[in-house]
Chains A and B, each alone.
Chain A
């Protein structure tokens, strides 16, 4: 078991949450809260603690003086509510190239779980590679020690059995919470159509794609000469004679892919968080600060 840094980030759900469990995100249900949501008649909403005398008198005067059918107005508030933070973790082998054997992913899981549960939200985890990884999944929970459990789960996960990231769609299907923020941590080195499909499926959630960028060397190991390489996922051997024209073609293929990826995100009004190396709480806090509040 590794000791994890108790890094955390602050976030707010950008939309109003409807839910009866009090939490920290602005909600659309009425209850105890700090956001004023209009008046109601005392008989409709029998909460005498919130009778607003000034408002009641002003209302009665406006209606033509004090009379027998005077109404007492009660102030109502929107109740703050909770959401669920889902982490869809890419466990495929290509991730371990830049991810130091999923250590960084485990750190991220720890941080999300710690921040979510600390704020009273639920945390859930779904791992995927070519399939949904049931062994690396946690259903929504508020259990306090879940951050460590999640991190250990990711760290000690068995390696992917088959290449590919198609399990992303299955994993997205697991998300059942009505309000959720979905962290999608992957290197996005897969078919754009899978991502497109997933994003469409997750369109009513807030998706935060964490794009783990590989080092340039992991994409383009050599600039000249004979280069033999092995695909991190499939293990296929490739070999090319590198020269400037090849480098150009290679680079343009890479650029094209990531161009497509960002247009895909743009279409869904999602801003990706580009990361190389460790994800810090600070980065995520900045990300959420920049997020448009509804």
Chain B
């Protein structure tokens, strides 16, 4: 990065640059002596004098340049990366505060504890995000309403902070699955298609959708070529999305199963992961991690970077040297007057 490429936030301050010549004309420290014939000739002094003057010019120049606010402007860089564009769709309903993967109904009451589903989801998602450097993440949470918390971004910090924030507090009352799915898909609206698009649904329950909603969701996801990954976090061990013979009759009409069936029937790429324990949750995440690698064009926005610091450091160092010289000189003058 050369000096010429820098932009200045206060370019008019550069008009002060001629002040850097001041040290070369300053004679304010001069003392009148009776006869200069006594002053010894000394080449070393010439060198020192020159460097002191140059140093003071450097101090002035770098201070002025620093004050003028140099910065590298914000710019976009495109590069090829491997990964996917993922919208995390997180359930924030009250049931997510329940404990994850307990064996009995009685153990469900440990609300908001460390092992709540939300906390578990948070810690695994955090790791997931960290493992994928080139992915673009969005974040939508839903309960009675779906809220687009974070539109698609490459910033790892932003997504991590959002995941983190989501684990705080308690859940809300309701679950509005269709709205959430639509909002998640809308995140990809008006975005160029860069590579694989995933909605990663983390939820512990489903909802029965109306026919109209089903149609809309199906067409929307098809049009945008979005695949759905569902990490289903059941509260109790044993509940599965696919019907089996050992099912309790209570589970037959669970909305989760209906939703699962719907996803399967639409023909959009869909995969469900049933997280029955911490271990399976981790495995599910790992599997998604491995699957979703496609070459995609990553557009990175490099933020505006202030570049005043090196100038101030240079000024500081030069000023330090000058201060030492000045203190030494002042001591010398004092000694001469003793």
Q: Show the binding face of A for B, using Cβ within 8 Å.
A: 94, 97-98, 187, 189-190, 214, 216-234, 236-242, 246, 249-250, 253-254, 257
Contacts and interface: CB of A to CB of B under 8 A. Distances in A.
A241 B39 contact: no
Contacts of B27: 228, 230, 237
Given A217-B337, A232-B34, 11 more contacts: A97-B34, A219-B35, A222-B31, A225-B328, A225-B332, A227-B31, A230-B27, A238-B33, A240-B39, A240-B42, A250-B38
B45 A239 contact: yes
A228 B36 CA distance: 11
B245 interface: no
18 contacts: A187-B34, A190-B35, A217-B337, A220-B33, A221-B33, A222-B332, A224-B329, A228-B30, A229-B30, A229-B36, A230-B31, A230-B32, A231-B36, A239-B49, A240-B39, A240-B40, A241-B45, A246-B42
A209 B331 CA distance: 37
B contact face: mostly helix, strand, loop, or mixed: helix
B32 A232 contact: yes
A195 to B, nearest CB: 14
Contacts of A250: 38-40
A45 B151 CA distance: 138
Contacts of B333: 221-223, 225, 227
B29 interface: yes
Interface of B: 27, 29-40, 42, 44-45, 48-49, 52, 325-326, 328-333, 335-337
Contact of A246 (B30, B32, B40): B40
Closest CB pairs A-B (n = 3)? A225-B329, A224-B332, A189-B35
B168 to A, nearest CB: 61
Given A220-B336, A221-B333, A242-B332, A229 B38 contact: no
A237 B52 CA distance: 16
B34 A214 contact: yes
Nearest to B324: A225
Given A220-B336, A257-B38, A226 B31 contact: no
B34 A218 contact: yes
A242 B331 CA distance: 11
A220 B48 CA distance: 19
A233 B39 CA distance: 14
B303 to A, nearest CB: 44
Given A94-B34, A232-B34, A241-B48, A225 B325 contact: yes
A222 B325 CA distance: 13
B34 A221 contact: no
B45 A189 contact: no
Contacts of B33: 97, 218-221, 229-232, 238
Contacts of B42: 240-241, 246
A225 B52 CA distance: 11
Given A225-B330, A239-B49, A230 B325 contact: no
Nearest to A221: B31
Given A217-B336, A222-B329, A227-B332, A98 B38 contact: no
Contact of B39 (A187, A214, A223, A229): A229
Contacts of A233: 35
A214 B35 CA distance: 10
B294 to A, nearest CB: 67
A139 B159 CA distance: 102
A238 B52 CA distance: 15
Nearest to A212: B34
A229 B40 contact: no
Contacts of B330: 225
A242 B335 CA distance: 12
A254 B332 CA distance: 19
B32 A97 contact: yes
Nearest to B47: A241
Contacts of B35: 94, 187, 189-190, 219, 231-233
